């Protein structure tokens, strides 16, 4: 009993020490419109609507911001109390559902400094981090992870595959104060590493020595031609020869047809171009490797991960086919808390969502089969009606023919 009390106390202590900077689950109806600001930078931005979509696990809990117009840019953001992640873990988490079976469009979020003018947010607005799925055709299905460092944006060098089905998926980015990161999809790690190693943010630690030059006599040939190997005297034979079995046609006229020449055939004795055999090179020194030296331009930075101002989260993207739903936004400094929130939101509704979609598909399948059977029955009935009409016409024709025959016989009788 004492152990359970202690465990409960420790869990409470962890939650108290955790910071939740932003959380949005759209559970209060249209009140989201007071928290999210639509950019006016363009006059033709697409509209976000609150919806759980065509299939869901919970009609209320699964409501999120859904793109509603095809072939449009979207730009909306929400502000929160500014903070710095210096010396802290930064966790960004949200769910994305491409229920429209997206062909080309973004599903990522951007984290902005607090000085962002939300009403003028656009694609070139300065941001701290861009993270989330991006899909365009079969060639682009990746998780974007871009970091802004000293005013420049740097894309991760690794290719992280995103989910491309129609269900909801949970995307989590964990940025640690030791310049390491972790990317999770559906609460499972899919990538991790170092900000310095997986981005070209800093100059390389080592560079090729500009003073070093490969010696002129450096021999990189692993095998060479054998100088003692000689070409056989009978090696050279023509590739093609005159056909010895060919005969001049009897009707060939040299004056009319010109001088006769036998056709050419491949020479069975032809051996091709002669090349001396290869032997190991006794002077082989291996492939020359350019020596490296410390890069004088390199300087380590233990705070690549750190942003002095974080105050706005935004959806700034383009979609060809609309229908994507964004939900369950969370920004915190506690990766464990984020995992628990993910399990309590996406984790609770993902299976019912899938079940509902499968039920809809089964209903559609049965409906299509029923319509197809009905169509076949209608076609069958039409064919039977046509057959009956043909039979009636045949009977009428037979009756008419009989009457004409009787009239013809009567006429003949009258004449007799």
Q: What is the pLDDT of residue 333?
A: 98
What span, in angstroms and rounded, lies between the C-alpha atoms of 196 and 300?
9
The DSSP code for 263 is P
Whether residue 13 has pLDDT greater than 60: no
Beta-carbon-side half-sphere exposure of residue 412 (alpha carbons within 13 Å)? 6
The answer for residues whose C-beta is within 8 angstroms of residue 45's C-beta and 6 or more apart is 38, 39, 72, 73, 74, 75
Count how many residues are written for the chain: 416
The continuous run of DSSP H or E covering 339 comes out as helix 335-344
Q: Strand 104-106 vs strand 188-194: parallel, antiparallel, or unpaired?
A: unpaired
- The pLDDT tens digits of the residues spanning 243-297 come to 999 999 988 888 888 898 999 999 998 989 999 999 999 999 999 999 999 999 9
The average pLDDT across 238-244 equals 91
- The pLDDT tens digits of the residues spanning 80-120 come to 999 999 999 999 999 999 999 999 999 999 999 999 999 99
What span, in angstroms and rounded, lies between the C-alpha atoms of 161 and 186?
13
The average pLDDT across 218-240 equals 93
18-203+304-357, CATH topology level: Jelly Rolls (2.60.120)
- The pLDDT tens digits of the residues spanning 149-170 come to 999 999 999 999 999 999 999 9
- The pLDDT tens digits of the residues spanning 30-43 come to 999 999 999 999 99
- The pLDDT tens digits of the residues spanning 296-350 come to 999 999 999 999 999 999 999 999 999 999 999 999 999 999 999 999 999 999 9
The average pLDDT across 382-399 equals 71
- For residue 79, how many other CB atoms are within 10 A of its CB? 17
DSSP 352-376: HHHHHHHHHHHHHHHHHHHHHHHHH
Q: Report the chain's mean pLDDT, rounded to a whole number.
A: 91
Whether residue 2 has pLDDT greater than 50: no
Quote the tokens at residue 380: 């069958």
Whether residue 8 has pLDDT greater than 50: no
Give percent of the chain above pLDDT 90. 77
Q: Strand 109-112 vs strand 129-136: parallel, antiparallel, or unpaired?
A: antiparallel
E strands in 19-167: 20-24, 36-38, 48-51, 64-67, 72-83, 90-98, 104-106, 109-112, 129-136, 140-149, 152-155
Cβ contact 162:144 at 8 Å: no
Q: What is the pLDDT of residue 14?
A: 47
Among candidates 84, 77, 145, which has minimal Cα distance to 312? 77
């Amino acid at each position: 009993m004492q152990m359970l009390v202690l465990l409960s106390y420790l869990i409470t202590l962890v939650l108290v020490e955790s910071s939740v900077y932003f959380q949005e689950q759209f559970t209060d109806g249209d009140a989201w419109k007071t928290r999210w600001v639509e950019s006016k930078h363009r006059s033709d931005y697409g509209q976000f609507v609150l919806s759980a979509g065509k299939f869901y696990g919970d009609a209320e809990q699964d409501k999120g911001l859904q793109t509603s117009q095809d072939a449009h840019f979207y730009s909306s953001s929400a502000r929160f109390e500014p903070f710095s992640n210096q010396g802290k873990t930064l966790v960004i988490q949200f769910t994305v559902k491409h229920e429209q079976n997206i062909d080309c469009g973004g599903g990522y979020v951007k984290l902005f400094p607090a000085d962002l003018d939300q009403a003028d947010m656009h694609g070139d607005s300065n941001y701290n981090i861009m993270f989330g799925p991006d899909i365009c055709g079969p060639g682009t299905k990746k998780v974007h992870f871009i970091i802004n460092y000293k005013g420049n944006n740097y894309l991760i060098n690794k290719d992280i595959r995103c989910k491309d089905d129609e269900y909801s998926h949970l995307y989590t980015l964990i940025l640690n104060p030791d310049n390491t990161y972790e990317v999770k999809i559906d609460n499972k790690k899919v990538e991790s590493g170092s900000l310095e190693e997986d981005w070209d943010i800093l100059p390389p630690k080592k560079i090729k020595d500009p003073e070093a030059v490969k010696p002129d006599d450096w021999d990189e040939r692993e095998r060479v031609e054998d100088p003692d190997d000689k070409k056989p005297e009978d090696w050279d034979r023509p590739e093609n020869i005159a056909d010895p079995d060919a005969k001049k046609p009897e009707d060939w006229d040299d004056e009319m047809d010109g001088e006769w020449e036998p056709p050419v055939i491949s020479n069975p004795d032809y051996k091709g171009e002669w090349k001396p055999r290869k032997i190991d090179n006794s002077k082989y020194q291996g492939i020359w490797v350019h020596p490296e030296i410390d890069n004088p331009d390199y300087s380590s930075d233990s705070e690549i991960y750190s942003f002095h101002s974080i105050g706005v989260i935004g959806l700034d993207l383009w979609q060809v086919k609309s229908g994507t739903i964004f939900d369950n936004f969370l920004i915190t400094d506690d990766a464990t808390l984020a995992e628990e929130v993910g399990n309590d939101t996406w984790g609770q509704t993902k299976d019912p969502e899938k079940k509902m979609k499968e039920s809809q598909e089964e209903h559609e399948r049965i409906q299509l089969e029923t319509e197809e059977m009905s169509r076949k029955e209608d076609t069958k009935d039409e064919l039977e009606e046509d057959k009956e009409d043909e039979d009636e016409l045949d009977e009428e024709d037979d009756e008419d023919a009989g009457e004409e025959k009787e009239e013809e016989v009567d006429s003949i009788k009258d004449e007799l």
